[in-house]
Amino acid sequence: MEEEIKQLKKFFQTSFAKCNSLADLDGLQQNFLGRKGFLTLLFKNLVNLDVNLRGKYGKGLNQVKKSFADLLTQKKQELESKGRQEQMKSEFYDFTLPSHQDPYGSLHPISLISYELEDIFSAMGFEIMDGPHMESDYYNFEALNFPIDHPARDMQDTFYLDNNLLLRTQTSAIQIRAMEMHKPPLRVVGPGKVFRAERVDASHSPVFHQIEGIMVDRQISVANMIYFLKMVLGKIFKEEVQTRIRPGYFPFVEPGFEMEMKCLICSGKGCSACKNAGWVEILGCGLVHPNVLGKVGVDAKSYSGFAFGVGIDRLAMMRYNIADIRLLHGGDLRLAYQFSIPRGNHK
Ligand code: PHE
């Protein structure tokens, strides 16, 4: 027994010296102190000994067991604390670094342009009016001189709702609301979303934005209108923009026109935003049709007026050099962040 204990101690020492991971330690523990471990076997052999020797070696074995267990525990603590230190080194965080800096949120380019337009128009004495997105057939079509079976309705297909309303196709509905509210002379603009059942492409979207304007007074002429609109475009683009005007049909104006501006994205050379025309249709305009004035009880013999509807999305595209309308409506943060203010740069 004496010899066996000696051998066991030696064996333990060499194994222990090679042990440098928690897994190794676990193995060692199993091999020596486990249920079928070497030490346990020796304990079992005690029964074969003489009774008085049994006590002696029993005690000796218990001491060995304790010394092994102590060594193992000590080593385990060492290894654990070394592991923690290494982990701390590899996972070092510098808590004094500034945090991740997302830029501040900002207004969407469409809102930026809309607010700017509102400023320009209110500086010229225009009232800003709102209208509902869900509109009645009367305001969107009927009162604007599109009778129920008139083929002109085909130009503006929309989404008809179950409640007898429709999604407005044009902010022109606001013209009627404005004239119902105010007797002439009046100047009103109405910006907002409009909807059309249209196929999506680089310059068309089923949801887009317009700003409507109407001015009714005595002796308002086409010349007044053209001068006015060119001036407004100049204010928006902060330079004189090249425009051209051609006849356009809208049932609620007579005569009616479409105003185009030279494409600022390609400088008139032709691109996807202007469908290679070099010009973009930016607004519809004309003198308010006498039938429309009649509908709202304005005497067409004493008063005349002009109205216009500007596509805000197209203005934003020209202004910020955005070649595809889908970018404006896609919700892609890479577009939005170009308009936001980086942290640290705000006043
Ligand atoms: N409402 C017309 C459109 O959506 C634009 C327009 C407005 C034309 C006012 C003339 C006068 O196309």
pLDDT in tens, 40-67: 988 888 888 888 888 888 898 899 999 9
Per-residue pLDDT at 342: 64
pLDDT mean over 200-226? 94
Cα 82–87–93 angle (5° rounding)?
135
Mean pLDDT for all residues in the chain: 91
- For tokens 């309705």, what's the residue? 153
Predicted confidence (pLDDT) per residue in 223-281, tens digit:
999 999 999 988 988 888 899 999 999 999 999 999 999 988 888 899 887 889 999 88
d(C-alpha 128, C-alpha 123), whole Å? 11
Nearest by Cα to 209 from 194, 227, 225, 222:
194
Using most ligand atoms within 8 A of CB, pick from 211, 220, 250, 252 the residue to mutate for ligand 1. Answer: 250
CA distances 101 to 92, 93, 105, 331, Å, are: 20, 17, 12, 21
d(C-alpha 16, C-alpha 145), whole Å? 99
Q: pTM (2 decimals)?
A: 0.69
CA distances 53 to 1, 49, 58, 60, 234, Å, are: 10, 6, 8, 10, 113
Nearest by Cα to 167 from 201, 204, 142, 139:
139
Beta bridge pairs of residue 308: 213, 285
Q: Name the residue at shortest CA distance from atom 9 of ligand 1.
A: 308
Pocket around ligand 1: residues whose beta carbon is below 6 Å from it? 170, 172, 250, 253, 256, 284-286, 307-309
Q: Which atom of ligand 1 is nearest to the CA of 257?
A: 10
Collapsing DSSP to helix, strand or coil, 271 comes out as: coil
